[in-house]
Structure 1
Amino acid sequence: MSFARSLITLLLTLVWLPACADSALRIGAERGDLYLPLLQGERVGLVANQTSRVGGQHLIDFLRANKVAIKRIFALEHGVRGDVENGGKVADGVDAPTGLPVVSLYGGHFAPSREDLQDLDWLLFDIQDVGVRFYTYISSLHYLMQACADYSVPLMVLDRPNPNGDYVDGPVLDPKFRSFVGMHPIPLVHGMTVGELARMINGEGWLDGDARCALTVIPAAGYRKGDHYSLPVKPSPNLPNDLSVRLYPSLALFEGTTVSIGRGTRFPFQVVGHPSDTQGELVFVPRSVPGASENPKYRGLEVHGDDLRRADQPSRFTLRYLIDWAGRTGETGPEFFSRASFFDKLAGTDRLRLAVMAGQSEAQIRRSWQADLQHFRQRRKPYLLYRED
């Protein structure tokens, strides 16, 4: 990389650009005037999926049209085109529309190797996140930052609004429960964009060996954290609309229980049900859905429960559903938490599960994490790029 471009990168990294200078919202990928000059004549690796778009154009096509030399694409969970189900295998291969080589970073090989990065001048990250700790794109971001730090490749993040970025809530991860579905000591709903979180990972020394990644963030313009942001492209096969994205923090915890949240239906993460329930009015039968839920919980069985699309639902993280259903299935606590270890990894602690089993109220449980939330809010302040009002 030339000295001039290194200097520009450093200035962008230190100054962080005026994120709210424009009144109209423009995501980082749409601010080509800020980052295309840095990529011209450089060899670029791209971390992208179906959400990586510039207006109506995929970022891959936008970059190629602007003479950016993409050497390879790195695929995370759900694949480059977003057609791989939750937890499904993402394989190395070729991106059919472009013929570009694809390197999988999901399914055991979470970080690029030295060979994957050795001929690159930049690694470019543009993935829509949903602002929840266990949504694995931010775990992949961590591994990418580690590799970039280890092998001296600069990372550029094209930032996007967080559709759950208007608040912070939930338990803060206890390091004893660190896993790929929770790598950082942040709340379940952290209220940060990917760019802000990348800055925090760097600044707090969360990379191994206290490493630092050469990081450039291209922020969104005209964005404030309280703004409603409707995702133009579904971020993964089982989050098809805004409601599912807003309910996701509350309902994903059921993945560690015997309760279905509608995988294998047309309305995943918008319903709650169990075969033994007698209170709910909704009836649904989960089916195999290729690319989304090929083996959903209770496949082919009649499930009874609640339709969360038909009533005013909390627009923020709540324990209301979890506490309610812990008493509706007719199961004891240990039976209800059928995947207790996984539930604790999602929650980032075993205290939530134990509190529900002990019959504590939502108010009691919430009080237990308020001090940690206050500490986190203070800790994240130096890394924020967008106004909170």
Structure 2
Amino acid sequence: MNLNFKIKNLLLICLIFLSFGSVKAQINKDQPCYLAGADRPELYLPMLQNKTIAVVTNQTGKLKDGTFLVDFLVKNSINIKTIFAPEHGFRGDADAGEHVKNGVDAKTGIQIVSLYGKNKKPNAEQLKGLDVILFDIQDVGVRFYTYISTLALVMEAGAENRVEVMVLDRPNPHDGYVDGPVLEQKWTSFVGMHPVPVVYGLTIGEYGKMVNGEKWLKNGVQVNYTLIPMKDYHKKMRYPISDKPSPNLPNDLSINLYPSLCFFEGTQVSVGRGTHFPFQVYGSPWTKDFPFQFTPKPNAGAKDPFLNGKLCYGEDLRGTTELRSLDLQWLIKAYRDYKNPAQDFFLKNLFFDTLAGSDELRKQITSGKSALEIKESWQKDLNDFEKIRSKYIIYQD
């Protein structure tokens, strides 16, 4: 009896193990597989040998085994003169808009130069003696996310100083579609440098090709531009982001909601900075008809968050399924529910217009236009942009 019992238990364990193995195999099979540009050193290392380079990168600049690109290059005897750090710094821990200081990388001893603050564009002295600027940063594919602005200014400096720019491409979590208003030239800023929609549907490497090809750099200059493409990447497939691209985009959901929620940064409504779920909620003290409550407080990603210490009423969007378009419903609902006679819904500095790329979206919302009407008004500009975008696509849908 005991022997039969043991045999039955053994068979049950085997069945469970086999079932688990089957499920695991299915998970692995369904997991999207690609190689980022950084994971194709056979393409770029030969081009960097015997050259002096600078690297523009941050905490996302890693190979698939977790090795930092800078460490990998040093190990392969590539001569790195400078590390250029974008917004949020080389390690990616600075607040949005926070001044990032120059310094020295403790591990390699390489000089770190900030490209955020007054020095957003490398100057001639910083580029002196360089052959190549290597760019490797995980972007999020949204116009007002500043890594594409850093790339453009690096390209501009490279063109002016005859330094090649090489981009190691990475996935765009908003690839394969375009949406949002197209930026008008007079609204050009560091959160919107080019006449593109909020979601432009190109990888950062493709974006650089477009900027160069369309002669959008200052005075129409063009840089010697090299793109190291990804392998087995598909534009409409969604790939998980292994390292958060900035402190307040901690996961794939926040990245997915970012194009829709970032407009709130130009209003009296919080997007959850100073909580454990930034860009996954929204609310303010003056939208009290909403059910969800949260109170922003200082944390590692927001040292002095907007509406610090104030109880906010809003919506919790953590149950939202993946969006493949820009959603205006939350912005319009918050505007209609907002009740504060002492302060307008939109910030006085009209940063909202800077984010939108014109003053039209704000005027449409205040005039009572529906989300559908507003989105229909973008269509002609999106169609015109699509003709430009299509010239620079290198990956299949």
Could you say which residue in structure 2 is the equivalent of 1:148? 158
After TM superposition, the runs of 4+ consecutive aligned structure 1 residues lying more than 6 A away are: none
Q: Match for 1:117 among 124, 127, 138? A: 127
Q: Distance in 1 between matches of 2:198 and 2:36?
A: 24
Q: Match for 2:362 among 322, 337, 353? A: 353
Could you say which residue in structure 2 is the equivalent of 1:70? 80
Contact (CA 8 Å) 1:257, 1:340: kept in 2 or not? no
Q: Which whole-Å deviations, capped at 9, do the CAs of 1:224-269 have from their partners, x for residues lacking one?
A: 1101111000000000000000000000000000011100000000
Q: Which whole-Å deviations, capped at 9, do the CAs of 1:317-371 have from their partners, x for residues lacking one?
A: 1111111100112147970012452110100010000000000001111111100
Q: Distance in 2 between matches of 1:166 and 1:314?
A: 12
Which segment drifts farther, 313-322 or 366-375?
A: 313-322
Q: Match for 1:59 among 69, 74, 88? A: 69
Q: Secondary structure at the match of 2:80?
A: strand
Q: Match for 1:169 among 168, 179, 189? A: 179
Could you say which residue in structure 1 is the equivalent of 2:299? 289
Q: Secondary structure at the match of 1:149?
A: helix
Note the aligned Cα RMSD (angstroms): 1.5
Residues 240 and 24 of structure 1, relative CA distance in 2, 3 Å threshold: closer
- Rg bigger for which structure? 2
Q: Which amino acid aligns with 1:40?
A: Q
Q: Secondary structure at the match of 1:188?
A: coil
Query: Cα distance, 1:135 vs. partner?
Result: 0.3
Q: Distance in 1 between matches of 2:116 and 2:267?
A: 24
Q: Distance in 1 between matches of 2:180 and 2:348?
A: 20
Could you say which residue in structure 2 is the equivalent of 1:278? 288
Higher relative contact order (CA 8 A, sep 6+): 1
Query: Cα distance, 1:315 vs. partner?
Result: 4.5
Could you say which residue in structure 1 is the equivalent of 2:103? 93
Which segment drifts farther, 313-322 or 163-172?
A: 313-322
Q: Match for 2:194 among 168, 180, 184? A: 184
Could you say which residue in structure 2 is the equivalent of 1:257? 267
Q: Which amino acid aligns with 1:365?
A: I
Q: Which amino acid aligns with 1:324?
A: K
Could you say which residue in structure 1 is the equivalent of 2:388? 379
Aligned residues: 365
Query: Cα distance, 1:194 vs. partner?
Result: 0.9
Which segment drifts farther, 43-52 or 332-341?
A: 332-341
Q: Which amino acid aligns with 1:89?
A: H
Could you say which residue in structure 1 is the equivalent of 2:208? 198
Could you say which residue in structure 2 is the equivalent of 1:324? 333
Could you say which residue in structure 1 is the equivalent of 2:345? 336
Could you tell me which runs of 5 or more consecutive residues in structure 1 were left unpaired when the two chains were aligned.
1-22
Q: Match for 1:301 among 292, 310, 333? A: 310
Q: Which amino acid aligns with 1:259?
A: V
Could you say which residue in structure 2 is the equivalent of 1:269? 279
Matching of residues 36-47 of structure 1 within 5 Å? 36-47=45-56
Q: Which whole-Å deviations, capped at 9, do the CAs of 1:43-80 have from their partners, x for residues lacking one?
A: 11000100000011111111111111111100110000
Q: Distance in 2 between matches of 1:220 and 1:303?
A: 43
Residues 104 and 312 of structure 1, relative CA distance in 2, 3 Å threshold: closer
Could you tell me which runs of 5 or more consecutive residues in structure 2 were left unpaired when the two chains were aligned.
1-31
Q: Which whole-Å deviations, capped at 9, do the CAs of 1:1-52 have from their partners, x for residues lacking one?
A: xxxxxxxxxxxxxxxxxxxxxx940000000000000111211100010000
Q: Distance in 1 between matches of 2:136 and 2:254?
A: 22
Query: Cα distance, 1:92 vs. partner?
Result: 1.2
Instruction: Provide the TM-score with structure 1 as the length reference.
Output: 0.91
Q: Secondary structure at the match of 1:244?
A: helix
Matching of residues 26-45 of structure 1 within 5 Å? 26-45=35-54
Q: Distance in 1 between matches of 2:348 and 2:279?
A: 18
Q: Distance in 1 between matches of 2:113 and 2:296?
A: 33
Residues 232 and 94 of structure 1, relative CA distance in 2, 3 Å threshold: same
Q: Distance in 1 between matches of 2:181 and 2:267?
A: 18
Contact (CA 8 Å) 1:169, 1:188: kept in 2 or not? yes
Could you say which residue in structure 1 is the equivalent of 2:170? 160
Contact (CA 8 Å) 2:256, 2:322: kept in 1 or not? no
Q: Which amino acid aligns with 1:26?
A: L
Could you say which residue in structure 1 is the equivalent of 2:21? none
Q: Distance in 1 between matches of 2:196 and 2:289?
A: 36
Contact (CA 8 Å) 1:177, 1:345: kept in 2 or not? yes
Q: Distance in 2 between matches of 1:113 and 1:269?
A: 34
Q: Distance in 1 between matches of 2:129 and 2:54?
A: 9
Could you say which residue in structure 1 is the equivalent of 2:57? 48
Query: Cα distance, 1:302 vs. partner?
Result: 1.3
Q: Distance in 2 between matches of 1:134 and 1:203?
A: 21
Contact (CA 8 Å) 2:287, 2:334: kept in 1 or not? no
